[in-house]
Structure 1
Amino acid sequence: MAALLNNQTQQNCLLQSHHSFGRLKSSVNTFISDVFVSKIHAFIEWNDQHWLLRDVSSNGTWVNGQRLAHDQVAQLNVGDVIAFASKSGYAFEVHDVNPPCDCLIPVEHNSVAIELEYFHLLPSKKSHNRVLSYNSQTYSWWQETLDDNLSQSTRAAELNDQECLDIDGLTWQLQINRTIEDTQLLRPNVTSLDELTFFFQTSLDEESTHVVMQNGEEHIDLLTRSHHYLSLCLARQRAKDMQAGVDDSEQGWVYAELLAKDLGFDASHLNIQIYRMRKQFVDALNNSCESSNIIERNAGKLRLASKFFCITKGDKIECDTRQFTHQESNQHVSQYVNH
């Protein structure tokens, strides 16, 4: 993430997408206590390609010893030195010019800031693990606790910008820097889980499970992963309920405690398997269509959210829940998986 080093304090200044410097503490991102620094002295902004510095002060801003003209814009590069009010004034060196990202920044401890992915696990040694997930429809972050009490409902709580979290006795502050343009890039262009079909290919001994996700003509290989067996078990339960004529809202639900026992998992391991499945799905779809909800949870129960899937064991189709069978598509995916 983009950062400046304060040469006076040797502390990092992590840049927000629109970052202000000045003496008006309540109105700037980085406060500079110097009577020669203007209340709002300068801005650094991300323009989707570069970081740009703009001077709006009375006493000037310098980059590498050269004073900027008032309202002049300068593109920043690693190693540039920025000084406010004079050549020898408060100086910051540019250390990183990567695009802005949401992060957790340490509060009164020297830990490294945590760059947040769309779906991010926060492990804890003293308490329950937590997951932070980004909702691209509301442009907001949500916190979910992975409680080892599997009979309890899992609840998510919305987080505000600058809100503080306690992790193992250390305080971290959420800093939202993401631009709206970044959140609207979708791969592929999916708006509903109903647009997707999952193809499960499991070995005869069920020791390995390969999953391919289909969206129209596009096939996304989710590879062979241990957590796919969990989603396979949930898919089988949903298929069983479909065949029995169970209502859609009631299909596929399995008590988490019973599922963990059947798979030989403890609660923590089951939660991590669910997290890995959800994260892989989020990464594959770039957080589109609330993709973290591929595994639904309710009152201590789990189910696979998708209702369109095909399960193949060995070379035999075990079940296919799609309303219409596309033989050519099945053959194509089978060749893709086996390849």
Structure 2
Amino acid sequence: MAIAQNMMNNKLYVIHTQHTVGRDPNNTSVINYNDASRKHAVIYWESNCWKLTDFSSNGTKVNSKLIHHQTVTLKMNDLIQFSSSQKDNWKIINIDEPRSFLDPVAENNEIILLNKEGIIMESQTTNSYVFQNNENKWILDNETQEIELVNGKIYLINNVQYRFIDNESLSKTLLNADITKNACFKLFISIDEENIISKIEINDLELDLGNRVFNHLLLYLVRKKQKDLNYGVNVDLCGWVNMDDLYTSLGKELLKEVDAYYVNTLIYRLRKNLMKLQPYGFLFANIIERKKGKLRFGLPKFEINKEHAFA
């Protein structure tokens, strides 16, 4: 993610994939000087590098060289001057590929960079999870529902307000959809159903989630989805489980009290394990889908292998 620093006040600017600069208030960054144009210049990501194109009347200086209606490739430590004033001189301090991010409304909070593995934002009361689904849309799971993030909109996450900035590279290669499309989620269950192993098989590759408590939750959701499919329920509608029913059924199975906190803890641990599974575990962030008051198993292909022998 490219970052520029104001040389006078040290303010940092996260550079957007199409970052416009000028006097017009609709620019990404606004500079209010008489010799700056309304649409002065644009910085953008193209061909795996950052470029600056000047559109102004008076030109832009890059490393003291005047650029007028020209395009230059930006490098680390380049100095950019948009007007005769020294107050908006920028220094390029990062030229990494653009990434989407959560921009805090309050200046005393840090920017949260998003990455393909997903981000778990922990607090004392809530663990929020932000990830990309199979359609490459950014999703916020706030332990109550899943929300599709919209560019420029403000969201309350763990009691902090953030503006979501969709900053994906326009030329960025999409994740291979065939990986998730061809994957099969498999559950291996002991005779007494006390032990459950889960794996994700992708052709000859196996991602092993092991024998974990969260597998009991996955088994319950998979069985619900299979039951709905057997009854002919539309695939887009099948598998949803009411949380109250889930608490009761899972509690009986585990011989303990199950509530929202316990279920969210299982989902949190499941996603942490997925993020660790190389190379494709992060692609299965939607293994459990959520909407208000309901959960369901999110993958299209699955198998239940009963009476599996455990060593």
TM range (shorter): 0.7 to 0.9
Task: Report the counterpart of residue 220 of structure 2 in structure 1.
Answer: 234
> 1: distance between equivalents of 2:49 and 2:33?
28
CA displacement 1:247-290 (0-9 Å, x = unmatched)? 25467958321255344555224213224535738983765xxx
Match of 2:302 in 1: 308
Partner of 1:110: 108
Shift of 1:81: 1.6
CA distance in 2, matches of 1:174, 1:52: 24
Q: Output the amino acid matched with 1:114.
A: I
How many residues matched?
297
Structure 1: distance between partners of 2:98 and 2:142: 27
Aligned to 1:23: 23
For the pair 1:64 / 2:63, whether they are aligned, the reply is yes
Normalised by the size of structure 1, how large is the TM-score? Answer: 0.71
For normalisation by structure 2, the TM-score amounts to 0.76
- Unpaired segments ≥5 residues, structure 1: 148-153, 317-337
Matched, 1:197 2:184: yes
Report the Cα offset of residue 146 of structure 1.
1.2
CA separation in 2, counterparts of 1:108 and 1:239? 43
Q: 2:81 aligns with which of 64, 79, 83?
A: 83
Shift of 1:132: 3.6
3-state DSSP of counterpart to 2:44: strand
Q: CA deviation at 1:143?
A: 3.8
Deviation at 1:53, TM superposition (A): 1.4
Matched-pair contact (CA < 8 Å) for 2:217–2:250: no
Q: Which residue of 2 aligns with 1:267?
A: 260
Q: Which amino acid aligns with 1:284?
A: Y
Question: Does residue 1:295 correspond to 2:282, yes or no?
Answer: no
Shift of 1:87: 8.5
Q: Distance in 1 between matches of 2:290 and 2:87?
A: 55
The 8 Å contact of residues 19 and 43 in structure 1, kept in 2 or not, is answered as yes
Using the TM superposition, give the Cα deviation of residue 35 of structure 1 relative to its aligned residue in structure 2, in angstroms: 1.3
Go from structure 1 to structure 2 and tell me whether the alpha carbon gap of 1:223 and 1:78 turns closer, same or farther (over 3 Å shift): farther
Q: Cα–Cα, structure 1 residues 240 and 5, in superposed 2: closer, same or farther, change >3 Å?
A: closer
Structure 1 stretch displaced more, 38-47 or 81-90: 81-90
In structure 2, the CA distance between the partners of 1:184 and 1:266, relative to structure 1 (3 Å rule), is same
Identity of aligned residues (%): 25
Per-residue deviation, 1:14: 0.6
Aligned twin of 2:149: 159
In structure 2, the gaps of 5 or more residues are none
